Structures are given as C-alpha cells and as structure tokens.
C-alpha cells in the first residue's frame, strides 16, 4: 500500500512528499523543542517501516520545525514514568525508529537547530547529515545521571573516533556544526536553518536519478563496512548475498543498456 494513500495527520510531526519519490518527516513540537514522547516515537517508527515497504518512495528526510531539530526524549514524560515505576525500555530501533534502525532505504537528517540527547542519537545513525551553520549538538545525558545507550556510542566512535566521542559523552558540552563537519559526521553545512530541508531535498533528488536497487544495495554495502568488525565478512556478504539480488532486477540490465544506447536510463521501482 502506498504511504500517500493513508491518513497522515499526526499531532507532533508532519509527513510530506517534496517529490514523488521522497518522504519528509518534520518534527513539529516547537514549544517542547521537538522532544519526542513515546506515542510519537512509535508513530514515526511506523512511518519508516511503511517507507521501506513503499516501492514508490526511494529516499527519506527527517528535519525539525522551529529553533530545534530534536532535543531527544520528553524528560517530563520520563519523570512521570520514574514516579510510577514504569520501565523506560531502550529496545531497538529506538527514538523515532532511528538510533538502531535496520531499514533498507537511505534517510537524510536535515538538522535545522538544537540537536541533543536522543536527537543526536537519531542523527548518528542516519545515512547523510546536513546541518545549519547555527545548529548545535550535545549529548548532555551525563548531566542528568543518564547515559546515551540507544545506539550512538559505538556509531559515533566509528565515525568521529574514540577521544572525540569521549569528549562529547563525558563532558556533555555543546559543539557546533562546523566542528562535526570537520570531524566527519556532517556531510554539508548550509548557511541558514530555513535552507537545510531544501538542501536535503536537492541531495535526495540527485540520489533519485540513480537506480533504486543500487541505492539499497550500495547503502547496505557501506553500512556493513561501518558496522561489521571484519572487512572480508562485509565484502563477502555484499558480493555473495546482495549482488546476485541486484543482478536479477530489471534496473541492472537497464542501466547498462542505457549506457550502450547513450540515453537516460528508465528506472523502475525496486523490488528488493
């Protein structure tokens, strides 16, 4: 079922389609700096699951409205849970379905402003990160007697290194977008918050010029090299399990034939 055919009215976020192949989720709780309560987290998680199963959608984007991208979980809700003895589980896939997401399609984080705690954990597992030059990032959990355990610690260590991750986790200090760009987490820094989502859409459109099968398999190959401890295991899994599936698809032969015939390829939606 197409995601567009469903009722997509939510209290704390907006679902839109900047292009027929692109899904955008915009966090819309500015009065709470786009913190995410448990109900909203489950709703957004479902959107990503539907996105992965909707053949017409190839690339996802997540961004925020107002001066924050996301300040993580709703700590007022956490406080109520602590008082009633309710356990706050950190099971996969985590806040808004992103920190430990195991989906198949690429998602771009368009960070428009404050990004901290669980919001930072979400970003650490996105496939590309675009950020406003005025965006700030932090893992302040240590200041509240908490530890970010939803997935960002090993991922940030792999991306920006041991000592830099230690710096963020053990001090809880703020860092700016330029610093994280220099450290390798952020792909592109844009001048104004209002331009971040637009820049993400432009990148998504560039991606959508390519085979949707290759987007899925190429992403899988990169992520396996990032997450596996053994390079040869990642290479073998990609070559033995994913490449044969890629070759069976219509787009594999179409791309080669279009090159030989000197014409633009005519991609079809991926069946992977």
**121 catalytic per annotation:** yes
Q: Which is catalytic among the residues 121, 233, 254, 261?
A: 121
121 contact partners, CB below 8 Å, separation of at least 6: 72, 94, 95, 98, 99, 148, 150, 151, 152
What phi, psi does 19 have (nearest 5°)? -150, 160
Q: Which is catalytic among the residues 141, 198, 206, 232?
A: 141
Distance from chain centroid for Cα 101 = 8
d(CA 131, CA 122): 14
**232 catalytic per annotation:** no
d(CA 172, CA 82): 22
Q: How far apart are the first and last CA of the chain?
A: 16
d(CA 131, CA 118): 17
Residue with tokens 């633009």: 264
DSSP string, 66-120: SSEEE--B-HHHHHHHHHHT------TT-GGG-TT---SS-EEEEE-SEEETHHH
Write out the catalytic residue numbers.
121, 141
């Amino acid at each position: 079922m197409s995601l567009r055919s469903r009722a997509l009215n939510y209290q704390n976020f907006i679902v839109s389609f900047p292009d027929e192949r692109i899904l955008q989720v915009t966090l819309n709780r500015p009065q709470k700096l786009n913190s995410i309560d448990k109900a909203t987290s489950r709703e957004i998680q479902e959107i990503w699951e539907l996105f992965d199963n909707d053949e017409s959608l190839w690339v996802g984007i997540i961004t925020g409205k107002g001066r924050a991208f996301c300040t993580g979980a709703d700590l007022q809700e956490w406080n109520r849970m602590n008082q009633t003895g309710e356990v706050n589980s950190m099971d996969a896939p985590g806040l808004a379905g992103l920190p430990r997401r195991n989906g198949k399609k690429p998602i771009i984080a368009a960070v428009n402003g404050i990004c901290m705690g669980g919001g930072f954990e979400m970003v650490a597992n996105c496939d590309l990160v675009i950020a406003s030059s005025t965006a700030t990032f932090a893992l302040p959990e240590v200041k509240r007697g908490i530890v970010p355990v939803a997935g960002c610690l090993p991922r940030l260590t792999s991306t920006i290194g041991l000592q830099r991750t230690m710096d963020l986790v053990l001090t809880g200090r703020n860092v700016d977008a330029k610093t994280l760009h220099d450290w390798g987490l952020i792909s592109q820094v844009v001048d104004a918050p209002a331009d971040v989502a637009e820049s993400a859409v432009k990148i998504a459109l560039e991606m959508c010029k390519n085979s949707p099968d290759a987007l899925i398999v190429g992403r899988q190959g990169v992520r396996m090299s990032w997450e596996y401890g053994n390079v040869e295991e990642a290479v073998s899994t990609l070559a033995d399990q994913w490449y044969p599936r890629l070759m069976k698809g219509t787009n594999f032969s179409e791309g080669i034939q279009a090159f030989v015939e000197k014409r633009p390829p005519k991609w079809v939606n991926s069946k992977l």
